[in-house]
Structure 1
Amino acid sequence: MPNNPHDIAVVGAGIIGVASALRLARQGLRVVVIDPQEPGHGASFGNAGHLATEQVFPIADRSILKRLPAMLMDPMGPLRLDWKYLPRALPWFARLLLNLRSAPFQRTVAGLRALNESSLDAWHHLLKDIERPELLKMEGSLLVFERPDSRPALEALQRRMQQQQVPVDWWKAGAVRETAPQLSEQIQGGLFFPNTGHFIDPYRVVRELVEAAKASGVQFVKQAVQGGQLHEHGVSLMTGTGTLSARQVLIACGAHSAKLTAALTGIKVPLDTERGYHLMLPHEHNRLPFPVTSLERKFIMTPMSDGLRLAGTVEFAGLDAPPTMARAWQLHRLSQGLFREDLSVEAATPWMGFRPSLPDSLPVIDRVCDGKVLLAFGHQHLGLTQAAVTAEMVGGMVLPSAQDTARILPGREPYRLDRF
């Protein structure tokens, strides 16, 4: 039997891959992380920083059919579908609509709730473990509305969230102005979510986890994985510099996970990407006390140590099309009128990243091929929120511990690979 130099090879150095690698190393395993980029330079670099535990519903609803013409015609709309990508996207959208039927819809909500309800405790535990609890601010988040005719929709959303036991409070305009006085007078009120948090620097979170992982013996290899195959003693991964062998592999490379998953398991997952954009405003500090989302304008603003991050919009154009950076700059135009004084774009920087999305809005978190292949991808825009609890689940799949059995973790049934 060959002596594999690694117990587990983690493919993907985003927040989920790095958090999982640290977890596995702390369980005494020899871990290597492989990624063509530096750790945290994919979607984990530019996310909104919001731990969105309130988001327990699928990424779209049936109204997406009515919005399809606008998605194709409006390049700056909040939800865009590149017409050149339409033939490849239609099968995915068809599956998304099928998953909005009653039974699969309920499974999605239950699966998202299970992960989100465990996510904050998992993050607190992980940040305490690396002695960096100050990176997470637990100050809630706010969804505001401006038009009086938007009130019924927000009230309906509040009722739906209360039915799912999501903590939510109705704030009148006065409460909004008292807490966030720089917001515009035209804001009518909103929904406040007390059990949410945000990171003051999402990229630093990854860097701190990387340092803790390295201190625990994790190796990081900057290479692209070009293919792989299973054999009697584990798995071999082909990279640009040769073959890397391990007893097990964890596929956690986000929107790039489908090809390797198919090569190793024979299952083609319907993985697509919601291309997300942000605009970082380095001269905007102390504008907001916590993340604020606009109901009508459909984007989020998060206060961070390096300024204010405007994030949002969804674009379906695949992995290969160049970024449409005008969509990032559009976020500043969307912010105009939300504050008493408009935000400064001096030295602003745009960004685009790939959010890995499956048509049932649930990730794949599973152990297959006699345990040789572990999977943790497809978290759509909840990758940051669910990263720590996913890492705990990965650790439990590999080497269950007394700590895992003491903590209540979601079961893997809703996240199985064979649902496809």
Structure 2
Amino acid sequence: MSDPSHPVPPETESNADIIIVGAGLVGVTSALALARRGHRVLVLDKQEPGRGASYGNAGHMATEQVFPIADASILRSLPGMLMDPMGPLRLDWKYLPRALPWLTRLVLNLRPTPFRQSVAGIRALNERSLAAWQRLLASVDSSHLLKADGSLLVYEKPESHSKLEALESRMREQQVPVELWDREAIQRAAPQLSDALLGGLFFPATGHVLDPWRVVTTLVEAARHEGVRFEQETVQSTRLTAKGAAVTTHAGEREAGQMLVACGAHSADLTAQLTGKRVPLDTERGYHLMLPRESDRLPFAVTSLERRFIMTPMETGLRLAGTVEFAGLEAPPNMGRAWQLHRLSRGLFKADLDAEGATPWMGFRPSLPDSLPIIDRVCDGRVLLAFGHHHLGLTQSAITAELIAELAGPGEHAATVTPPYRDDLPSLEPYRLSRFG
């Protein structure tokens, strides 16, 4: 029964079977997959498609990152997180009261059993992610946008060698392809890196994209060709209806048989409105610094073990990224954290990186305390969910889209409907909304 003090606006036709809230990589890849399964799709976002976290991600296909976003060391790191505004992992002390419940859940998930479950869930998506991206980009004649050339983790302090060996052992236990490289191997592959680097781990089953923004725009164009409509509207609220689900924007209300919530860090409120469940979603604020004069420095993405940031070669330059800040959605960005990445790069190359014309950026990564996304079909099939991929949004978006297309089932509005995906899709149990009670 409707509340007379809050009258329901009149319903308007959306001419869509599925409304997607969110035009980031997860929303865009899902829109394309759903359209190819015969659905009429409408995508709503307050920004141009791909202008959120998808625009500024590190560009690294991080299939090797099968461990949760934090381990037991976060407890020892908490004082430094609060005190150092330029540290690689920072918690704004003013945000601490709001972050404490989320951090408590994160710590509880570090217990052996939930930690193993998180690793298994991340790995199940990651080990299928690169192939899913290769299928997707090949389907839009854009395979060249993905370089599956591997990535490298380097170290420079003798005392870090034992950490590297321990990490190599853990990776092998999880069947992550990994090679131990010495100084000479690094110099052969990436001769512009400093001779002071002592060695590293090479991950051959990873890669990087030439430009995340170009990837998004390419997929948007392909989706539009399949009939997907993109509207730039600010979503104000959502609700279930007898026919499916409705969304209210500044332009009115639209209804469809199904709704996909895929708006990243902004997904919690909409999910609560539709399902009645409040999910513990928080935000990793990520920064990058784009160096337009350094596109030829590296052949693949390189991460520093000690300095804790990544450098990815792209068409438009070298992207330095990787810091994490917990400060919520409202606090203004601290672009000094982006410029700090250039200072961190000093000493990693034979000649320092050129920062002339560099541009900083900050975006919101949606994070759940068990480091697993929510990928699910709820409310009698009227609501689909795909969010919470933290810093693996780029990596996992293509495989997530395949899962969402399977959850939605075949549509009725295409001359030829793409058949179901392969039988090797991962089980959805680790990603269900119900794990949060």
The separation in 1 between residues aligned to 2:421 and 2:288, in whole angstroms, is: 39
Q: Is residue 64 of structure 2 the alignment partner of residue 23 of structure 1?
A: no
Alignment partner of 1:200 is 2:210: yes
Tell me the amino acid that sits aligned with residue 372 of structure 1: R
* Structure 2 CA distance for aligned equivalents of residues 204 and 157 of structure 1: 33
State whether residues 2 and 233 of structure 1, in contact with CA within 8 Å, keep that contact through their aligned partners in structure 2. no
1:72 and 2:82 aligned: yes
Where does 1:361-376 land on structure 2 (aligned, <5 Å)?
A: 361-376=371-386
Rounded Cα–Cα distance in structure 2 between residues aligned with 1:307 and 1:405:
36
Do the aligned partners of 1:277 and 1:353 also contact (CA within 8 Å) in 2? yes
Give me the CA root mean square deviation: 1.3
Which of 251, 258, 269 pairs up with 1:248? 258
Of the candidates 41, 44, 55, which is equivalent to residue 51 of structure 2? 41
For the residue of structure 1 that corresponds to 2:352, the secondary structure is coil
1:411 aligns with 2:427: yes
Per the alignment, in what secondary structure is the counterpart of residue 257 of structure 1?
Answer: helix
Give yes or no for contact 1:297–1:334 (8 Å, CA) kept in 2: yes
**In structure 1, how many angstroms separate the alpha carbons of the residues matched to 2:426 and 2:316?**
35
1:285, CA displacement in angstroms? 2.2
SS in 2 for 1:142: strand
Counterpart Cα distance in 1 of 2:342 and 2:383? 43
Q: 1:338 aligns with which of 310, 329, 348?
A: 348
Matched residue type, 1:350: P
Instruction: Report whether the alignment pairs 1:139 with 2:155.
Output: no
**Which residues of structure 2 form unaligned runs of 5+?**
1-10, 411-416
Q: 2:311 maps to which residue?
A: 301
Instruction: Give the 3 Å change call, closer, same or farther, for CA 128–374 of structure 1 in structure 2.
Output: same
For the residues of structure 2 that align with 1:29 and 1:236, how far apart are their CA atoms? 17
Aligned residue pairs total 420
Shift of 1:367: 0.2
Q: Tell me by how many angstroms 1:2 deviates.
A: 9.8
> Deviation at 1:402?
8.2
SS at match of 1:24: helix
Provide the rounded CA distance (Å) in 1 between the counterparts of 2:233 and 2:174: 43
User: Counterpart in 2 of 1:287?
Assistant: 297
Please say if residues 291 and 319 of structure 2, whose CA atoms lie closer than 8 Å, have aligned partners that are also in contact.
yes
Q: 1:4 to 1:241 in 2, by over 3 A?
A: closer
Q: Please list the CA deviations of residues 314-349 of structure 1 after superposition, one character each: whole Å capped at 9, or x if unmatched.
A: 000000000000000000000000000000110000
Q: How does 1:309-324 map to 2 (within 5 A)?
A: 309-324=319-334
1:184 aligns with 2:200: no
How many angstroms apart in 2 are the aligned matches of 1:405 and 1:315?
Answer: 37
For the residues of structure 1 that align with 2:274 and 2:137, how far apart are their CA atoms?
A: 33
C-alpha deviation, 1:113, in angstroms? 0.6
Point out where structure 1 has 5 or more consecutive residues left out of the alignment: none
Say which SS state the counterpart of residue 404 (structure 1) adopts: coil
- Aligned-partner Cα distance in 2 for 1:54–1:111: 13
Aligned mates of 1:46, 1:419 — CA distance in 2: 30
Shift of 1:228: 1.1
Is the contact made by 1:252 and 1:375 (CA closer than 8 Å) also made in structure 2? yes
Establish whether residue 159 from structure 1 lines up as the match of residue 158 from structure 2.
Answer: no
Which residue does the alignment assign to 1:210? 220
Q: CA separation of 1:405/1:185 partners in 2, compared to 1, >3 Å: closer, same or farther?
A: closer
The equivalent residue for 2:138 is 128
Aligned-partner SS, 1:33: strand
CA offset at residue 404 of structure 1?
Answer: 3.3
SS of the residue 2:97 aligns to = helix
1:220 aligns with 2:230: yes
Identity over aligned residues, as a percent?
Answer: 66
SS in 2 for 1:276: strand
Q: Are 1:4 and 1:247, in contact at CA under 8 Å, matched by a contact in 2?
A: no
User: Scaled by the length of structure 1, what TM-score is found?
Assistant: 0.98
Q: Which amino acid aligns with 2:317?
A: G
- Structure 2 residue corresponding to 1:54, chosen from 64, 68, 72: 64
The alpha-carbon deviation at position 120 of structure 1 amounts to 1.0
Instruction: State how far apart, in whole Å, the 2-side matches of 1:57 and 1:404 are.
Output: 30
The aligned amino acid for 1:31 is V
Determine helix, strand or coil for the equivalent of 2:153. Answer: strand
1:257 to 263, 267, 282: 267
Paired residue type of 1:211 = E
